[in-house]
């Protein structure tokens, strides 16, 4: 054997060892040797101000609890859906992760990884009021919300004035009038992020809230059976509304929140007059423009639909929160208690990331009159119906979003959403 | 495949069975060869088994269950997932979209990259700069490409602005939102991204065409076109066959661009097999069903690769996979 081949063997051997090393390095994680507990924390606040709020909260918590270190991992919202199932079927899921409750949480609970924190939170969860209910499954608390949300129209006051719209629409007829006036003024009336599909579904969901009585709605969603006539009416409402061509050019290819070309970006930059979105949308819009939106943005609830059986003060909504996984449930629950403190809640409200805090005390710090009107609307709402895709089991919820998106692309009938839900059940 | 095994076995028996006059050195060299094989193939085999073979087996197993990814595999459904997938018009459409990209690539990209390679192989001014330029998009990751084009192609965006500026405003389309246009838009972006790769490949192939042959042809009075058609292109054959192979496999697995630019929409008009698989698997938590789709995708790619290697690439890879021709 000459020197050259020996060298070759050494090199090959080294490569082989390295690959074995790399493989074994994939496992691991967990607690460090000095007794400190290390938690991983996945949230969806990838942009400021919420990015800093979570980071500051973690820094503060770590300072107060020297035996805990928290590894913060911000993950883009649309990526969460794909990362969570993978993480929950692995041996090392994040200890604290973003969660929207409802049927989505119920589906995740089946993994056996989501921690029951009923007892760990029992002393303080009552302070959060009704909002916490969406994070319990069959009476077991599996998470803690930090914000409530409602869906309504964010609109540009300047563009409404330009089109000569005196008052915000309170009925569907008035909304259609406003759309006509905006079109006549050469303004795209409504922006929608059709590429992401769930913004399309907001229309179907909201129309269903207007068309269906509360009992029919709740029962239909609980049983994933949307065969009642009122759901068909909602489907027809969506088709009729799209037929009035209220949306921006190419809305089926528009993302909801990413970039100036997104639906939020269009409203933020004056490219469209309004958008049916959740309460978080103002902070998303502000992140997509340099203009101060405070004097330019207004909000009004989805108008009443003539002849609908639903309570016009009811609304579509939901919330954001966090869940814990088994391994560090106790530490996680304590951290979540800290996150729902008046102090952090106030910070979230002051930054306008959260319009409807889960702690009533924090609402005192709402300074903006528009945000205050959203908050009051939520307080006075007959009831808040969770987004259908979150309320339903995940597979069914996505099928519903897809079916509504198909309506937006001109495919399907008034019944097709109910049919898609039935097929996915 | 079987021929390969036979040949190898034959080699082994003759080597081990015949007592060589040299004795020990021969045996030692044989041992050395085995050691070398084990060391060279070992790491790759470990990685292949761990990251390709085992997941494949697992996917095959999951695909027989109705499973949402959480909890135990209890709901055995046999081949239901496969029949459901193949019967879904959306998946059939996805296969169609993949085939569209496959065919469009062959018809458009292949001639285009050969032509550009021939052009860039000639003595033209600024050749290096031009080569660099056409290769640049290939260096970008597919995700970056997708994000860039997603913003450029927004209605009233940069592309529309350029077209209008050039007096071609009539050509403006809803590039990503029109169900009849979106596949063509995606194909244009794919071509923009991958044309550089084809050109580089063909430029390399052109270096393998001996200058003497061209000289001889020109002495015999062949025109430039005749030389290209009768000498250069036939000698470019192996490169063309490899390019076709890579292009088809890439087209069948198309995902990143589609996912970022359209999510397979609108209304499934740009869904590919891979985007359908991710959509059903990860967004709807239908992991059993998603696995079945993954297996279908794998079988399509594998069967194609096998046949292509066996028949089209046979001459190029002689002895490696098709058995030694004595």
CATH of the domain at A97: 3.40.190.10
Cα dist from A90 to A33, A286, B219, B306, whole Å: 23, 37, 69, 34
B35 contacts in chain A (CB < 8 Å): 9
Residue A356 within a domain: yes
**Does the residue A181 lie in any domain?**
yes
pLDDT of A273-326, one tens digit each?
A: 999 999 989 988 998 999 999 999 999 999 999 999 999 999 999 999 999 999
Name the one residue in this structure whose structure tokens are 């269903």.
A208
* Chain B residue at shortest CA distance from A84: B282
Note whether B22 contacts A: Cβ–Cβ < 8 A: no
Closest residue in chain A to residue B180, using alpha carbons only? A409
Is residue A358 located within the same domain as residue A402? no
Tokens for B321, please give them. 């996979």
B76 by DSSP, 3-state: which? Answer: strand
Question: Could you tell me how many residues make up chain A?
Answer: 425
Given CB atoms, is B225 within the 8 Å cutoff of chain A?
no
Q: How far is CA A51 from the centre of its chain?
A: 16
Helix residue spans in A278-393 (DSSP H)? 281-286, 329-339, 342-350, 369-380, 388-391
For residue B26, what pLDDT is reported? Answer: 66
The strand pairing partners of A274, in sequence order, are A155, A190
In a domain, residue A261? The reply is yes
pLDDT at site A25: 40
Average pLDDT rounded to a whole number, residues A366-388: 92
What is the pLDDT at residue A18? 43
Cα–Cα nearest to A177, from A316, A251, A167, A209: A167
The answer to whether A112 faces chain B, any CB pair under 8 Å, is: yes
* Judgement on whether residues A416 and A303 belong to the same structural domain of the protein: yes
Q: Which of B42, B68, B266 sits opposite A409 (nearest CB)?
A: B266
* Cβ of residue B157 closer than 8 Å to a chain A Cβ: yes
**Cβ pair A405:B69 closer than 8 A:** no
Are B157 and A111 in contact (CB < 8 Å)?
no
Residues of A in contact with B278 (CB under 8 A): 82
Rounded Cα gap, residues B176 and B159, in angstroms: 12
Is residue A89 less than 8 Å (CB to CB) from chain B?
yes
Task: Indicate whether A6 pLDDT > 80.
Answer: no
Residue A11 domain-assigned (yes or no): no
Instruction: Identify the domain containing residue A226 by its residue range.
Output: 151-316+386-424
- Three-state secondary-structure class, residue A148: strand
Separation CA B322–CA B309 (nearest Å): 8
Q: What is the average pLDDT score of chain B?
A: 86
Domain ends where: A339, A354, A375?
A375
- 3-state helix vs strand vs coil in chain B, percent to 5: 75, 0, 25
Residue A25 falls inside a structural domain? no
Residue A3 lies inside a defined structural domain of this protein: no
- Structure confidence at residue B309 as a pLDDT band (50, 70, 90): confident
Average pLDDT over chain A reads 89
Nearest CA-CA partner of A90 in A68, A76, A111, A115 = A111
The DSSP bridge pattern shows strands A297-301 and A144-156 to be antiparallel
**Same-domain pairing of A223 and A370:** no
Cα–Cα separations (whole angstroms), residue B216 to A101, A396, B225: 77, 70, 15
Both A348 and A312 in a single domain? no
* pLDDT-above-90 percentage for chain A: 71
Nearest to B236 by CA among B213, B194, B195, B207: B207
- Write out the two tokens for A246: 């209220």
| Alpha carbon distance A230, A213 (integer Å) | 8
CA distance A157 to B303: 60
List, for residues A185-243, the tens digit of each pLDDT value: 999 999 999 999 999 999 999 999 999 999 999 999 999 999 999 999 999 999 999 99
| Secondary structure (3-state) at B206 | helix
Decide if B287 and A85 are in contact by the 8 Å CB cutoff. Answer: yes
Are the beta carbons of A1 and B32 separated by less than 8 Å?
Answer: yes
Residue A4 has pLDDT above 70, yes or no: no
CA dist B163 and B153 (Å) reads: 11
Q: Which helix (H) or strand (E) holds B305?
A: helix B287-307
A276 and A159 in a common domain = yes
Query: What is the spatial distance between Cα A332 and Cα B253, in angstroms, rounded to a whole number?
Result: 40
Q: At A82, is the pLDDT very low, low, confident or very high (cuts 50, 70, 90)?
A: confident
In chain B, residues with a C-beta closer than 8 Å to the C-beta of A406 are: 267-268
Cis-peptide, bond into residue B266, ω within 30° of zero: yes
Look at A410-424, B104-118, B152-166, B309-323 and tell me which has the smallest mean pLDDT. Answer: B309-323
Tell which of A375, A397, A414 closes a domain.
A375
Which stretch of B109-113, B115-119, B232-236, B312-316 has the lowest confidence by average pLDDT?
A: B312-316
B68 and A107: CB-CB below 8 Å?
Answer: yes
Would you place residue B24 in the very low, low, confident or very high pLDDT band (cuts 50, 70, 90)? low
User: How many domains does chain A divide into?
Assistant: 2
Is the pTM here over 0.80, yes or no?
A: yes
Q: Is B178 on the interface with A (CB under 8 A)?
A: yes
Please indicate, yes or no, if residue A31 is contained in any of the structural domains: no
CA B95 from chain centre, in angstroms, equals: 16
**Helix, strand, or coil here: A129?**
helix
Q: What is the pLDDT of residues A317-337, one digit of tens each?
A: 999 999 999 999 999 999 999
CA distances from A205 to A7, A171, A229, A274, B132 (A): 68, 17, 14, 18, 52
């Amino acid at each position: 054997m000459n020197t050259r081949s020996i060298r070759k063997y050494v090199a090959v051997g080294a490569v082989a060892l390295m690959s074995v090393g790399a493989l074994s390095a994939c496992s691991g994680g967990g607690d460090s040797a000095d007794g400190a507990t290390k938690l991983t924390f996945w949230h969806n606040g990838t942009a400021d101000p919420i990015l800093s709020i979570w980071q500051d909260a973690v820094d503060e918590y770590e300072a107060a609890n020297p035996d805990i270190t928290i590894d913060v991992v911000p993950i883009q919202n649309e990526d969460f859906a794909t990362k969570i199932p993978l993480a929950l079927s692995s041996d090392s899921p994040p200890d604290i992760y973003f969660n929207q409750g409802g049927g989505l949480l119920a589906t995740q609970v089946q993994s056996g990884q989501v921690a029951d924190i009923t007892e760990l939170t029992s002393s303080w969860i009552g302070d959060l009021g009704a909002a916490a209910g969406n994070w319990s499954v069959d009476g077991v608390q599996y998470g803690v919300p930090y914000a409530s949300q409602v869906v309504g129209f964010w609109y540009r006051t300047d563009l409404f004035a330009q089109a000569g719209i005196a008052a915000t629409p309170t009925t569907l007829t008035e909304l259609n009038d406003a759309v006509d006036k905006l079109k006549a003024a050469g303004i795209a009336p409504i922006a929608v992020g059709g590429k992401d599909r769930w913004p399309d579904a907001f229309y179907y969901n909201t129309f269903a809230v207007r068309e269906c009585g509360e009992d029919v709605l709740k029962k239909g969603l609980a049983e994933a059976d949307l065969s009642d006539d009122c759901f068909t009416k909602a489907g027809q409402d969506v088709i009729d509304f799209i037929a009035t061509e209220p949306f921006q050019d190419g809305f089926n290819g528009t993302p909801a929140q990413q970039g100036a070309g997104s639906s939020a970006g269009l409203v933020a930059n004056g490219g469209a007059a309004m958008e049916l979105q959740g309460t978080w949308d103002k902070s998303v819009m502000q992140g997509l423009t340099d203009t101060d939106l405070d004097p330019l943005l207004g909000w009004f609830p989805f108008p009443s639909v003539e002849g609908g059986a639903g309570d016009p003060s009811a609304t579509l909504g939901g919330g954001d929160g966090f869940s814990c996984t088994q391994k560090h449930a106790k530490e996680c629950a304590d951290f979540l208690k800290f996150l729902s403190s008046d102090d952090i809640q106030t910070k979230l409200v002051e930054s306008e990331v959260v319009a409807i805090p889960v702690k009533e005390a924090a609402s005192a710090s709402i300074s903006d009159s528009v945000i205050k009107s959203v908050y009051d609307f939520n307080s006075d709402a007959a009831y808040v119906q969770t987004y259908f895709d979150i309320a339903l089991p995940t597979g069914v919820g996505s099928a519903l979003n897809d079916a509504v998106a198909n309506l937006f692309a001109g495919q399907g009938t008034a019944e097709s959403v109910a049919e898609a839900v039935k097929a996915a059940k | 495949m079987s021929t390969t095994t036979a040949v190898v076995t034959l080699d082994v028996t003759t080597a081990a069975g015949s007592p060589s006059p040299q004795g020990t050195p021969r045996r030692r060299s044989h041992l050395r060869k085995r050691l070398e094989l084990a060391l060279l193939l070992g790491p790759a085999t470990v990685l292949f088994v761990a990251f390709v073979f085992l997941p494949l087996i697992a996917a095959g197993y999951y695909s027989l269950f109705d499973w949402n990814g959480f909890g135990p595999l209890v709901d055995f459904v046999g081949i239901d997932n496969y029949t459901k997938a193949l019967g879904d018009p959306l998946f059939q459409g996805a296969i169609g979209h993949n085939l569209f990209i496959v065919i469009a690539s062959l018809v458009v990209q292949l001639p285009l990259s050969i032509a550009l390679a021939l052009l860039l192989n000639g003595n033209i001014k600024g050749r290096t700069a031009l080569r660099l330029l056409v290769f640049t998009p290939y260096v970008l990751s597919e995700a970056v490409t997708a994000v860039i084009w997603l913003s450029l192609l927004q209605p009233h965006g940069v592309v529309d602005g350029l077209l209008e500026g050039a007096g071609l405003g009539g050509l403006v389309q809803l590039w990503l939102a029109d169900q009849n246009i979106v596949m063509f838009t995606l194909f244009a972006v794919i071509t923009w991204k991958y044309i550089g790769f084809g050109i580089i490949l063909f430029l390399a192939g052109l270096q393998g065409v001996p200058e003497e042959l061209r000289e001889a042809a020109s002495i015999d009075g062949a025109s430039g076109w005749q030389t290209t058609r009768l000498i250069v292109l036939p000698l470019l054959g192996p490169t063309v066959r490899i390019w076709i192979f890579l292009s088809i496999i890439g087209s069948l697995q198309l995902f990143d661009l589609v996912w970022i630019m359209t999510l397979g929409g609108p209304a499934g008009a740009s869904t590919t097999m891979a985007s359908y698989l991710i959509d059903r698997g990860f967004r709807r938590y239908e992991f059993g069903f998603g696995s079945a789709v993954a297996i279908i995708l794998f079988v399509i790619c594998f069967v194609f690769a096998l046949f292509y290697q066996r028949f089209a690439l046979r001459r190029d890879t002689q002895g490696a996979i098709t058995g030694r021709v004595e």
